[in-house]
Structure formats: structure tokens, C-alpha cells
Structure 1
Amino acid sequence: MAKRVQLVLNQDIYKLGRSGDLVEVAPGYARNYLLPQGLAVNATPGILRQVERRREEERKRLAEMKKDADVQKVALEKLPAIQIEKQAGEKDAIFGSVTNREVAEAIQAASGIEVDSRGVDVPEVRKLGSYSVEVKLHPEVSATVAIEVVATAAAE
């Protein structure tokens, strides 16, 4: 049988690899599909050096993002309890609930740190009081922020 061909992928290909990966494929698959479509290039020493250089730059970028997330974590955890106003009824029950978007906006207003609302994990809040909210800043870094749900001032 024919030997396998080494290629470097230009794009992510389902069940084969991610962009920049070195893969071994059948010669026909490379010759008839991957190379003509521009999805991969032959693995030459120069191309392999470029791929390694790109990977190193990506590692540095990810390390920098993690360092920034650590700094944000320290800043968020030093914040005093963030107040969120909600309409309340009898027995301190609030109307509706506190959403992750409201918490993210309150954090940004209080600290100036922009937080993605999809990374905010709010427990079920149905009454006035103090709660802990987990904010995911990076896949490896999470901060815990205290929120206090208070009743809105009645407008008369």
C-alpha cells in the first residue's frame, strides 16, 4: 500500500484536526480534496517552523489572558457587596429574579471591570438579602462576588 502523507491544516476539519495541526492522511485524500480546496499544505521544514512559532505566540497570548484574569479576580474580590435594587412584596419576596446580566452590569458600574454575563453564575434569588455570585473570568480563573438584593425606594 501507499505511504501516508504529512500535511499541515490551514483550517479546522471535523474529525481530522484543528488549524495548524500536523496530520497524516491517505495520499488520495490529500491530493484530491485537502490540497485543491486549500484546506492543508504539504509539511515542509519551513512550514513546520512557522506552525511552531504560531503555537508559541498563542501560548504567550493565553498566558497573558490568564494573568489579566488573575488581576481582575483580585480587584473583584476586594469590592464591597454590590447592591441590586428589586421591587419587593410581602415577606421580602422579590418580583421576578436577579439575572446574570443585571449582576454583570452592576459589577461594571461598581468597579469599571467589564464582565461577560454568560460567565456569571447567579444562585436562585427569590428574597431580599445577601448572596454570593461566581464570576468566571477565564477557563481557569473564577472570582466570588458578594451581592446584596435590596428593595427599591417606593415612589409616592
Structure 2
Amino acid sequence: MAKRVQVVLRQDISKLGQNGDLVEVAPGYARNYLLPRSLAVRATPGILKQVERRREEERQRQIALKQEALAQKTALETIGRFTIAKQVGENEAIFGTVTDRELAEAIQAMTNQEVDRRGITLPDINHIGFYKAQIKLHPEVTAEVEVHVVSN
């Protein structure tokens, strides 16, 4: 088996790895492609320490983001219910539907916290009443709130 060399990637390379990954590649691939194009650097003890430090910083950042999301989840679930007023027609049917943007605006108006509307999952809301909505605040944190749709 041919000797392989260890390199640390400086960019994401499909089928090889992500930025900061330590990978083993053929010496010719490293020498002729990765190193001249600055896509990778040779793995030295100093470089490995830098990579480990960056990973630790990223891990700490992810922990902080998760803690922030948990605090936001607690705040949203403490309030629990957000009211949205819509124009109503016959049989308590609303004109249009309640959108994730409207719920995000209602949350911001009540809590002064921004919520990414792309993380909001709403059922089809076509009538006035109470509905459950899920808000994904972090890949591991989801809040559940009640949406109260009332007539305008």
C-alpha cells in the first residue's frame, strides 16, 4: 500500500471533507493538487493545535447558541399564546390564511425577540380558533406555542 500524507483542509472539498478536517490523501494528490491551490496545508503539530482550538471555539459557540435558544424557548412557552387578528367571512372562515411571517411579527411585537420565520411550522389555518405551532429555534430546540386567530 502506498504511503499517505495527512493534510488539513482549508476549504470544503466534495467527497473529501470539510474545512478544518484532517484527512489522509495520496502524496501526489496533496503535492500536485491540494497544496498548490491552497486547498489544504500539511498537518504539522502547530497546525493540528490550531485546528483543535478552532473546533473547541466552534463547540463553545454551538453550546452558547443552544443555551440562547433554550432561554428563548422558555420565554415563548411562558407566554404560550399569540393572538393574530384576521378579517372573517361566513362560517368564521378567514380571508386568506395565517402565515409564518404574521406569527413571527406577532412574536416580535410581544417579546421583542426575533424568530426566523423559516423555522415556524403552522397547520393550515382557515378559520378562527386555537391552533398549535412549532418554532424551531435551534437544530435541537423546538418551542410549541398556541396561535389564537380572532376576527378583526
TM over 0.5: yes
Quote the Cα distance in structure 2 between the aligned partners of 1:11 and 1:94: 50
Q: How many residues align?
A: 152
Quote the Cα distance in structure 2 between the aligned partners of 1:20 and 1:80: 41
The percent of aligned pairs where both chains have the same amino acid is 62
Equivalent position of 1:135 in the other structure: 135
Is the counterpart of residue 22 in structure 1 residue 22 in structure 2? yes
SS of corresponding position for 1:50: helix
Equivalent position of 1:6 in the other structure: 6
SS of corresponding position for 2:79: coil
Shift of 1:81: 1.9
Corresponding letter in the other structure for 2:90: E
Matches within 5 A, 1:6-155: 6-152=6-152
Shift of 1:133: 0.8
For structure 2, list consecutive stretches of 5 or more residues without a partner in the other structure: none
Cα distance per residue 1:35-87 (max 9 Å; x no partner): 01100000001100110011011111100110111110110001152111111
Q: Which runs of 4+ in 1 moved over 2 A?
A: none
Shift of 1:95: 1.1
In the superposition, relative to structure 1, how do residues 39 and 74 fare at CA in structure 2: closer, same or farther (>3 Å)?
A: same
For structure 1, list consecutive stretches of 5 or more residues without a partner in the other structure: none
Q: TM-score, normalised by structure 2?
A: 0.97
Shift of 1:5: 1.1
Quote the Cα distance in structure 2 between the aligned partners of 1:96 and 1:6: 58
Quote the Cα distance in structure 1 between the aligned partners of 2:138 and 2:112: 18
Shift of 1:2: 3.3
Quote the Cα distance in structure 1 between the aligned partners of 2:30 and 2:80: 59
Corresponding letter in the other structure for 1:14: S
